[in-house]
Amino acid sequence: MLLIADAIDLMNRVVASLVRWLALIMVLVQFCIVIGRYVFGFNSIAAQESVLYMHATLFMLGAGYTLLVDKHVRVDVFYAKVGDAARRRIDVMGHLFLLIPSMTALLYWSWPSVRNSWRILEGPISVGGIEAVFLLKSLIPAFCILILLQSVSSLVRLFHGERTA
Helix (H) or strand (E) holding 94: helix 84-94
pLDDT digits (tens, 9 = 90+) for 63-87: 999 999 988 887 777 788 899 899 9
pLDDT digits (tens, 9 = 90+) for 129-145: 999 999 999 999 999 99
46 domain-assigned? yes
Position 77 scores a pLDDT of 79
Number of domains in the chain: 1
User: Residue 94: pLDDT above 60?
Assistant: yes
116 domain-assigned? yes
164 domain-assigned? no
What band does 165 get if pLDDT is binned at 50, 70 and 90? low
45 domain-assigned? yes
Residue 118: which domain range?
2-159
Helix axes 133-159, 84-94, angle to 10 degrees: 140
Nearest to 11, CA basis, from 158, 143, 149, 142: 149
165 domain-assigned? no
Q: Rounded mean pLDDT of the chain?
A: 94
